[in-house]
C-alpha cells in the first residue's frame, strides 16, 4: 500500500481516494460530492459541522493532480470579479499623537453583513500589500472604528498546516499537530489606513483583538482558540507593532508555501510571531488527541500591554 496523500491537512489512503473517485462519478454537483466526502470520512469541525470548504479545496487539488474529474461548476464563485488590488479613494485627516483617553474610543466591529464585508474588502484591496484574497477555513474579520471613521481592518483565519518554528515552540509531532491545529488561529491581514499615523494605535488594536477574539470565536464556531500566529515579511516590515503588543518571536520560515511540494522556496522569508491566549496553551496543544477540548470559557488569560 502506498503512503497516504495529504490534502488540506488530512491524509487520504488509497481506499479513501477510491471512495472520492466513486463519489465524483456518481454525484451531480461539487457541493454534493464535498458534503458526501465529509460524511463518509467523518471530516468535521470541532463543533460537528462538516469541513465542507476544506473538502471542496481538496477536491480541486485532487482534480489538478489527475486523481479524478469533477462535474463543471454550476455557479461562479466571484474569483476574478473582486479585484485583489484597488487604488485608494478619499483621504482621512491625520490624527494628533494619541492619549489613553483617545485610544479608548477605538472599537473593533465584527464584519457580519454585506456592507461591512464590502468595506473590509475595499480597505484590504486598497491598503494591504497582499491585497484582497479569500481567507482560508474558519475565520473572523474586524473593522477598526474610531468615532465616525474606519481606520483599519483585521482578518483571522485558519493557521498554517505546518511551520517548523511554531511547531518546535509548541512541542508538536505530526499527529498531535493534526489533532490540535484548529486551536491555533492565524492573523492573516492587519492594516491601519496609511494616513492615520498615531503612536501606539496598531499595538492597541492588536491587544484589543487578542482580548476580543476568543469570545467571538466561541460564538461563531463553538470553541475557543488558545494561540494566535502571524507571519511578518522580512525586508518589508520589522514587526514593531507585534513586538509592542507582546507577541513572541519564535523563528523564521523557509520561504515555502503550503503548495510547495517540490521544495522550490519560492516565497519571501517571514518572521514568525505567536501570541498565547491562555497561559496553559502548550499543555492544551500537546494533549493526546483523545483528551477533548479545553473549556471555551475556562483557563487563565494572558494579559497584553499595548
Q: Which domains does the chain have, with CATH numbers?
A: 5-64 (no CATH), 100-285 (3.40.630.30)
- Mean pLDDT, to the nearest integer, of 185-205? 89
* Three cell numbers written together for 86: 484597488
**26-55: pLDDT as tens digits:** 888 988 899 999 999 998 877 788 888 788
Contact predicate 154/187, CB 8 Å? yes
Question: What string of DSSP letters covers 209-261?
Answer: HHHHHHHHHHHHHSS---EEEEEEETTT---HHHHHTTPEEEEE--S--TT-T
Q: Is the pTM of this model over 0.85?
A: no
Q: How far is CA 10 from CA 4, 66, 174, 185, 205, in A?
A: 9, 18, 11, 18, 34
* 213 pLDDT above the threshold of 70: yes
How far apart, in whole angstroms, are the C-alpha atoms of residue 220 and residue 296? 12
Q: What is the pLDDT of residue 170?
A: 96
Where does the pLDDT of residue 230 fall: very low under 50, low under 70, confident under 90, or very high at 90 and above?
Answer: very high
Residue listed under C-alpha cell 461548476: 73
- Non-local (6+) Cβ contacts of 186 within 8 A are 156, 157, 158, 159, 160, 228, 229, 230, 231
- Non-local (6+) Cβ contacts of 104 within 8 A are none
* 293 pLDDT above the threshold of 80: no
3-state secondary structure of 151: strand
Q: Which of 59, 45, 51 is nearest to 17 (CA)?
A: 59
Where does the pLDDT of residue 243 fall: very low under 50, low under 70, confident under 90, or very high at 90 and above?
Answer: very high
Where does the pLDDT of residue 79 fall: very low under 50, low under 70, confident under 90, or very high at 90 and above?
Answer: very low
* 80 pLDDT above the threshold of 50: no
- Which of 47-61, 69-83, 119-133, 176-190 ranks highest by mean pLDDT? 176-190
Q: What is the pLDDT of residue 136?
A: 78
Beta-carbon count within 10 A of 231 CB:
21
Length of the chain: 306
Amino acid at each position: 500500500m502506498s503512503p497516504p496523500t495529504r490534502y488540506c491537512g488530512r491524509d487520504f489512503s488509497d481506499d479513501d481516494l477510491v471512495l472520492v473517485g466513486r463519489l465524483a462519478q456518481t454525484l451531480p454537483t461539487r457541493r454534493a460530492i464535498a458534503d458526501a466526502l465529509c460524511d463518509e470520512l467523518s471530516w468535521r469541525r470541532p463543533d460537528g459541522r462538516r469541513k465542507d470548504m476544506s473538502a471542496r479545496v481538496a477536491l480541486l487539488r485532487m482534480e489538478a493532480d489527475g486523481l479524478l474529474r469533477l462535474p463543471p461548476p454550476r455557479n461562479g464563485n466571484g474569483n476574478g470579479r473582486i479585484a485583489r488590488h484597488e487604488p485608494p479613494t478619499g483621504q482621512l485627516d491625520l490624527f494628533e499623537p494619541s492619549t489613553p483617553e483617545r485610544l479608548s474610543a477605538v472599537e473593533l466591529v465584527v464584519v457580519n453583513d454585506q456592507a461591512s464585508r464590502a468595506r473590509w474588502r475595499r480597505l484590504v484591496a486598497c491598503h494591504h500589500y497582499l491585497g484582497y484574497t479569500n481567507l482560508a477555513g474558519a475565520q473572523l474579520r474586524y473593522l477598526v472604528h474610531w468615532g465616525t471613521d474606519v481606520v483599519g481592518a483585521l482578518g483571522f483565519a485558519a493557521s498554517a498546516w505546518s511551520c517548523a518554528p511554531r511547531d518546535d515552540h509548541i512541542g508538536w509531532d505530526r499527529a498531535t499537530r493534526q489533532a490540535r491545529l484548529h486551536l491555533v488561529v492565524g492573523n492573516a491581514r492587519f492594516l491601519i489606513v496609511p494616513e492615520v499615523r498615531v503612536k501606539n494605535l496598531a499595538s492597541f488594536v492588536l491587544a484589543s483583538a487578542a482580548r476580543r477574539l476568543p469570545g467571538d470565536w466561541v460564538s461563531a464556531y463553538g470553541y475557543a482558540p488558545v494561540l494566535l500566529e502571524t507571519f511578518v515579511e522580512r525586508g518589508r516590515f520589522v514587526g514593531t507593532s507585534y513586538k509592542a503588543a507582546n507577541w513572541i518571536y519564535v523563528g523564521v520560515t523557509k520561504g515555502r508555501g503550503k503548495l510547495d511540494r517540490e521544495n522550490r522556496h519560492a516565497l519571501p522569508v517571514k518572521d514568525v510571531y505567536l501570541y498565547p491566549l491562555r497561559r496553559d496553551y502548550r499543555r492544551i496543544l500537546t494533549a493526546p488527541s483523545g483528551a477533548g477540548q479545553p473549556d471555551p470559557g475556562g483557563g487563565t488569560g494572558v494579559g497584553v500591554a499595548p
